[in-house]
A = this chain, B = another copy of it.
Amino acid sequence: MHDLATTLWPYNRSITGPGLRQTLDILSKRHDGFRTHHFKTGTHVFDWEIPREWTIWDAYIEHESGQRFAEFAKNNLSVLGYAAPLDIVLDHADLDPYLYTQPDQPDRIPYVTSYYKERSGFCMRENEKAALPTGKFRLFIDSEFSDGEVVIGECVIPGESDREILFSTYICHPSMANNELSGPVLADQILQDLAERKASTGLRYTYRVLFLVETIGSIAYLSRFAGHLKAQVDAGFVLSCVGDERAYSHVESRFGTSLADRALNAALKGLPNTKRYSFLQRGSDERQFCAPGIDLPVCGFCKSKYGEYQEYHTDADDLTLVTPKGLSDAHRVISDVIGALEHGLYPKTNVLCEPQMGKRGLYPTISQKGSYDAVRLRMDTLAYADGQIDVFDMCERIGVNLGTLNDELEILTVNGLISTENAKHELETGNVG
């Protein structure tokens, strides 16, 4: 995953334009069935209008001495996102309206955009701005707005059922690692996993993975496909900032009670430094997926949540913050969710009362104070496997991580003590008395 992130790092992605297309080209070659959706400039999507496409070739501020600052060629973030073309000469005293800094982090270049109001500007370190020499500066932005499109990537892997699990991530930020590339590379890995699982054991669910541009892209996509999603999706996850090693975060859906919320909650249970944010702390495309009238069962998954780590939306959000271990830990969470969904949601015991575990070698045959502790999880799993409680609720009731429960259910299934289906089902375990 980290290698793919390194590959995708230099492209100057925005909500439209060449960097976006180059990224989708790379992804499309990696997955069968990858396709794109196109929304032309001027198209109305719900309350919005698709903007003109933005292309940028170069940008810099050049002092009369020839020294250059805020060079786009050195860092994609140096220019205001969606900056209009500019070529003017200004005195030092007149620069201010064109310079964006993050005063509380004076050594960082902030990431700033102005998608829907035409502006020109540069982003630079506050310290760098303070140290600018006096004299005249040329402000040069070689960019263009043109009729074009918003492009969205999508890959669907069909399973036995047409019930869908949705993953959504975004590819609209230039050179930011956690708050951008971590999502697409995890989504890429999920697609690989699903293709392998399909080839080996088949898939129960159909999986839909979206590579969106935030806000305008998700709104455009929903304006075309919300009806289908509302009919088919059982759970969805927005993947954002999933590559650092600091935390595991859950951003709730609007009511925080969807299958997706419960699944993520179970997968995070017991992990170190987990954080749960209400929908009031939302910030990515769950804003659209969970909007009134859309109402999809979608929650957000992050390691450190956007807005909650210092490097967020600055040039410090780079590939040292996102690590192979950070990505791998996030991948484990999603794998546990998929594992549970594919194994079946509603385990039920095949016997009435507790089974005789000793004869199966699943329980100590000596009974002494404390001997029960070692198999407590096993007995608790059986005690709640009633065909009515799903695995995510079981994790909550038993207080166990989803991955751990998956393993225990596998042992009990192999020993013939548990059956699992994807819907609630009554126990049919023979004559009761």
Binding site for B on A (CB under 8 A): 46-49, 81, 100, 102, 110-117, 119, 215, 218-219, 222-230, 254, 279-280, 282-283, 287-288, 290-295, 307, 312-314, 348-349, 351-356, 358-359, 365-369, 372, 376, 379-380, 382-387, 397-399, 427, 429, 431-433
A112:B386 contact, CB within 8 angstroms: no
Evaluate contact between B47 and A222: CB separation under 8 angstroms: no
A112-B366, A358-B116, A432-B294 in contact; A353/B384 too (CB < 8 A)?
no
CA distance A75 to B47 in the complex (A): 69
In the bound complex, do residue A116 and residue B399 qualify as a contact, i.e. CB atoms below 8 Å apart?
no
Tell whether, in the assembled complex, residue B432 and residue A226 are in contact, meaning their CB atoms are under 8 Å apart: yes
Report the separation of the CA atoms of residues A117 and B358 in the bound assembly, to the nearest whole angstrom.
Answer: 8
Q: Are B254 and A351 in contact (CB under 8 A)?
A: no
Which of B224, B288, B356, B386 is A47 in contact with, Cβ under 8 Å? Answer: B356
**Interface CB pairs A-B, < 8 A, 20:** A47-B356, A49-B356, A115-B367, A116-B365, A219-B353, A222-B352, A223-B352, A226-B352, A227-B432, A280-B398, A282-B383, A287-B353, A287-B354, A291-B349, A291-B352, A291-B354, A292-B348, A292-B386, A292-B387, A293-B429
Chain B residues with CB under 8 A of A282: 383
13 new A-B contacts, CB < 8 A, other than A226-B432, A230-B432, are A110-B368, A112-B367, A114-B365, A116-B365, A117-B358, A119-B365, A219-B353, A230-B433, A280-B397, A287-B353, A291-B349, A291-B352, A292-B348
Using known A-B contacts A229-B433, A280-B399, determine if residue A368 contacts B46 with beta carbons closer than 8 Å.
Answer: no
Report yes or no: A46 in contact with B352, Cβ–Cβ below 8 A. Answer: yes
CA distance A311 to B215 in the complex (A): 58
Closest CB in chain B relative to A317 CB, distance in Å? 11
B residues in contact with A369, CB < 8 Å: 102, 110-111, 307, 312-314
Task: Find out whether the CB atom of A294 lies under 8 angstroms from the CB atom of B365.
Answer: no
> Which residues of B sit under 8 angstroms from A291, Cβ to Cβ?
349, 352-354, 383
Query: Is the Cβ of B102 less than 8 Å from the Cβ of A287?
Result: no
On whether A225 and B433 interact (CB within 8 A), knowing A369-B313, A383-B287, the answer reads: yes
B292 close to A427 (CB less than 8 A): yes
Residues of B within 8 A of A383 (CB): 254, 279, 282, 287, 290-292
The answer to whether B293 touches A356 (Cβ under 8 A) is: no
Cross-chain contact B349 with A292 (CB below 8 angstroms): yes
Distance in angstroms between the alpha carbons of A46 and B354 in the assembled complex:
9
Question: From residue A115, how far is it (CB to closest CB) to chain B in Å?
Answer: 7
* Option from B113, B290, B372, B398 in Cβ contact (under 8 Å) with A283: B372
- Give the CA-CA distance A228 to B367 in the complex, in Å: 31
A286 to chain B, nearest CB (A): 10
CA distance in complex: A100, B380 (Å): 28
Q: A144 → chain B, closest Cβ, in Å? A: 20
| Residues of chain B contacted by A355 (CB below 8 angstroms) | 47
Most B CB within 10 A of own CB, among A218, A353, A354, A397: A353
